[in-house]
Amino acid sequence: MSLQKGEPVEELRTSPWAGRVLDLDAELQDFTDTAAALQAVDLLVSVDASVVHLAGALNRPCWALLAHGPDWRWLHEGEASAWYPSLHLLRQRAPQDWAGVIAALRKRLAAWSPADTAEIVDNAAQPTPTQALAALNTGQDALAESLCRAVLVCDDASLDAWHLLALALKRQQRFAESLAAFDQALALASEPAFRAVVLANRGNTHQAAGALDAAVASYRESIALAPDQPNAWSALGQVLLAQGQPAAAEAAWREGLTHTAAPAGLLNLLATAAQRRGAVAEAEALFTRSLAHDPHSAPTEYNLANLCHDQGRLAEAITHHRTALAIDPGYMLAQTALLRALQAACDFAGTRKATVAVLSGVDAGGDDPLAGPSHPVFPFAYLALPSTRAQQRRCARQWVARQLAPQIARARDIQYDPRPAATSDRLRIGYLSSDLHAHATAYLMAEVLERHDRRRVEVFAYSSGPDDGSETRGRLIRAVDHFVECSHFSHEV
């Protein structure tokens, strides 16, 4: 029986033994079908693939054929799996030595009978939602998915399995499948408190998928069932902010304060909003209140440090950044901002030390973007450091992997025709900048914008920075045909 999927199926169909093998390719539409097929076989033999994890999660006998440098989950030696009692591992003894693996397989098959694995299968524990949760908590999203599906084969009314499956799919950015699993979980969730949790997590998935209206609806439904959810109030306000409704976002956060016994996060968000409005004293008071509730919050210390820096209070900014790093030594946003504050304070010894820390933090991730800092260094700021092109590229990849991965995944599905619409004879040019105010970049660009030939060019300016009401700002607005304020837009917009 063959469970092979994809292009290699054609190799089987044109091979001399095709008529001796039952090809299930057409019948296997998802992991549920594959799980059912595994229940009908005495033994699975496979290279390292998802079906091996599924067999292990289902506690079905499996022999896995492993390359000399296998995936880390299989470790580097031993014939037993640390994860699945029903698996036996056949390893290459040297790179590319598949002949040795096949020879060992033939020898083992010659002496094997189904009874050899029956005791292992009978005695090993069946997969549980607890195992799936452990896999999620250690970043093993595909394994968590397999475990959940294995549980659901035996019990398709497992609320925990559907909920964890939805979370595992969301983490893999398979949003449509995740939302379908959330719907299954909600159909089973009758207890209000847990239903509220599922709804809030569904809201997070809608938000990640760019469906902001649906996210707001999920968060509000969740909060109606259980108002004491600071994370749900926080997420609701952030989505409203992304929709260009800053006043509604602040109102949501303030209402959340009246319901929760853990207000630190909401106070931090309100402080940031007040700072964005220019209400510096209010923002500082809110940051201080937030730290009184949670004195070990590195992000709040970082935000307060930035406020002090903007006010020219460099010594206080440096102190708060160092406090943030004492709480979380890997908090690279604080490390980068500390470097900027030390430079402004002309603390040259501190600047050299902070520069080394930032460069080392980026390099520690190597070539895997997701192995870099969880709070990546902003690439534009990194350009000012003594770094190579390779380091700058590494920094940029880390930033994109952490900050923009969902947006990039969705952008691949956008159907875009680059040909201009035939609505005008003029060339349309757009300029996007956060510096369209009294800023050195604006001083340099103003005349460039003014000198476009308006008979031949239609000029757009998109401002993602503050409106300082300056004369320079007014000049830039007059210099273009269309001036668009987009500082409140989300990445999705």
Lowest mean pLDDT among 313-317, 380-384, 449-453: 380-384
pLDDT band at 181 (very low <50, low <70, confident <90, very high): very high
418: pLDDT strictly greater than 70: no
422: pLDDT strictly greater than 80: no
46-87: pLDDT as tens digits: 999 889 999 988 888 999 999 877 777 787 777 888 788 889
Residue-level pLDDT at 123: 46
Lowest mean pLDDT among 122-131, 195-204, 309-318, 425-434: 122-131
Residue-level pLDDT at 151: 87
Computed over every residue of the chain, the mean pLDDT equals 88
119: pLDDT strictly greater than 70: no
Residue-level pLDDT at 409: 66
Residue-level pLDDT at 323: 96
Mean per-residue pLDDT for 24-43? 85
491: pLDDT strictly greater than 80: no
Give the rounded percent of residues in the chain with a pLDDT score beyond 70.
Answer: 93
Mean per-residue pLDDT for 232-240? 95
Residue-level pLDDT at 23: 82
Lowest mean pLDDT among 54-63, 124-133, 290-299: 124-133
332-380: pLDDT as tens digits: 999 999 999 999 999 999 999 999 999 999 998 888 887 878 888 989 8
Mean per-residue pLDDT for 408-433? 73
Residue-level pLDDT at 124: 47
Cβ atoms of residues 290 and 302 within 8 Å: no
Which of the pair, 36 or 118, is modelled with greater confidence? 36
pLDDT band at 424 (very low <50, low <70, confident <90, very high): low
Distance (Å, whole) CA 86 – CA 76: 18
183-216: pLDDT as tens digits: 999 999 988 988 999 999 999 999 988 899 999 9
Which of the pair, 409 or 148, is modelled with greater confidence? 148
Residue-level pLDDT at 67: 86
